[in-house]
Amino acid sequence: MPRLTFHGHSCFVLESNDGTTLLIDPFLTGNPIADIGPGDLTRVDYVLFSHGHEDHIGDGFEIAQRTGAMVVSTFEIVSFAQQVKGIENAHPLHIGGGHDFAVGRIKMTPALHGGAVAGDDTGQFTTVPGGFLITLDGKTVYHAGDTALITDMQLLKGQVDVACLPIGDNFTMGPDDAVKAVAMIEPRTVIPMHYNTFDIIAQDPRAFARSVGASARVEILEPGQSYEF
Ligand code: NI
Ligand code: MN
């Protein structure tokens, strides 16, 4: 069974049945709730960035440089990785587009949020933010990235086994809107993310789970915990 491991904030490691490892939004250094540091990740095959903010780019470029992992993100972030960070192994996508990679299909989904890229002093790599729909081993994971509640989420209805949704409020959806997102997407399982990293996004995930009720299974992962599906 594929396995998702939470490392705090919006960082997840997704492992396929054959051990292929995808690292999503690896904010580890400077993340007060991360359970690992960037050096603890030995095998990484893909690094995915939902958008360019520092708490999502995190250690990702350095990890890609060290492990040889393929960077997958929007065209602008991939261009930044190639032109500024010297990363050759990279694949550009854009919102609404997907590609069949060796591990499975990765499609970028819309998100409503900011588009600046951390470390890009020129602003020339500013992009639109996104999320990911990742299908591997016959299962589909939706990582929403940082986003407001958007009605586009209705289009994912019936496609998602596990949805990783922000609940922190302030910069993204809060719990009330995340409950509405669950109603639109109808995933089997929801994993809340992007909360309790900082005081400004403090939330009670158990209260969120109670609000979701029986409409989906809510899996609350502490940093370091995994969920197989
Ligand atoms: Ni952000
Ligand atoms: Mn964020």
102 CA from centroid of ligand 2 (Å):
28
- Assess if residue 88 is contained within a domain: yes
- Assess if residue 80 is contained within a domain: yes
- Look at residue 64 in the predicted model and tell me its pLDDT: 98
- Look at residue 194 in the predicted model and tell me its pLDDT: 99
18 CA from centroid of ligand 2 (Å):
30
131 CA from centroid of ligand 2 (Å):
12
- Assess if residue 167 is contained within a domain: yes
- Assess if residue 78 is contained within a domain: yes
82 CA from centroid of ligand 2 (Å):
23
Q: What is the pTM of this model?
A: 0.98
- Assess if residue 171 is contained within a domain: yes
Closest by CA position to 127, among listed 111, 141, 140: 111
21-24 β-sheet, strand order: 90-93, 70-74, 46-48, 21-24, 12-15, 3-6, 226-228
Report whether 4 contacts 13 (CB < 8 A).
yes
Euclidean distance between CA atoms 203 and 184, whole angstroms:
22
Q: Which ligand is closest to the CA of 52, given by its number?
A: 1
- Assess if residue 135 is contained within a domain: yes
- Look at residue 51 in the predicted model and tell me its pLDDT: 98
175 CA from centroid of ligand 2 (Å):
15
Q: Which ligand is closest to the CA of 193, given by its number?
A: 2
- Assess if residue 153 is contained within a domain: yes
- Look at residue 54 in the predicted model and tell me its pLDDT: 98
- Look at residue 58 in the predicted model and tell me its pLDDT: 98
Closest by CA position to 26, among listed 49, 3, 42: 49
- Structural domain range at position 115: 3-223
Q: What is the CATH number of the domain that holds 89?
A: 3.60.15.10
114 CA from centroid of ligand 1 (Å):
6
Tens-digit pLDDT string for the chain (229 aa): 999 999 999 999 999 999 999 999 999 999 999 999 999 999 999 999 999 999 999 999 999 999 999 999 999 999 999 999 999 999 999 999 999 999 999 999 999 999 999 999 999 999 999 999 999 999 999 999 999 999 999 999 999 999 999 999 999 999 999 999 999 999 999 999 999 999 999 999 999 999 999 999 999 999 999 999 9
113 CA from centroid of ligand 2 (Å):
9
228 CA from centroid of ligand 2 (Å):
25
- Assess if residue 229 is contained within a domain: no
How many distinct structural domains can be found in the chain? 1
- Look at residue 95 in the predicted model and tell me its pLDDT: 98
